[in-house]
Amino acid sequence: MIKHITVMTAAVLAATGVFAQSSERQAITDSKPQVRAQAKVAAKAQGKVAPASGDTSRTAEGGSVGTDVAAVAGEKRHQTRDERKPNRRKPVPGGTPE
């Protein structure tokens, strides 16, 4: 029984050694899709600057309300908050009360 286990272990190790050495193949770099992709990259115009991303171009400076639809709707809700919830406590400036 131990001989069988030893032989099987040796066979598994030999098989994994063969597979491990076969991974040294070079990548195929001259296939049609690869050549097409490299041509597409080479044809791309150089020197274009991407526009600013995120909300930096839409947000007003100085903490004022922005001009997008969500900001206008939020400001409208803020203005009518006291009428909608008359018994609500006013927020305390300066953070969480202790």
- The identity of residue 40, as a single letter, is K
This prediction has a pTM of 0.28
What does the pLDDT read at residue 24? 60
- 44 assigned to some structural domain: yes
Question: Does residue 96 form part of some domain?
Answer: no
Q: What CA–CA distance (Å, rounded) separates 32 from 17? A: 33
Give CA–CA dist 48/50, Å, rounded.
Answer: 6
Q: Is residue 10 part of a domain?
A: yes
- 45-62 pLDDT, tens per residue? 777 777 766 655 555 566
DSSP, collapsed to helix, strand or coil, labels residue 51 as coil
Q: Average of pLDDT values for 69-84?
A: 84
Output the six-digit token pair for 81. Answer: 């908050």
- The single residue listed with the structure tokens 């490299």 is 38
Average pLDDT of the segment spanning 1-24: 74
Number of structural domains, the chain? 1
- Domain range for 57 is 1-84
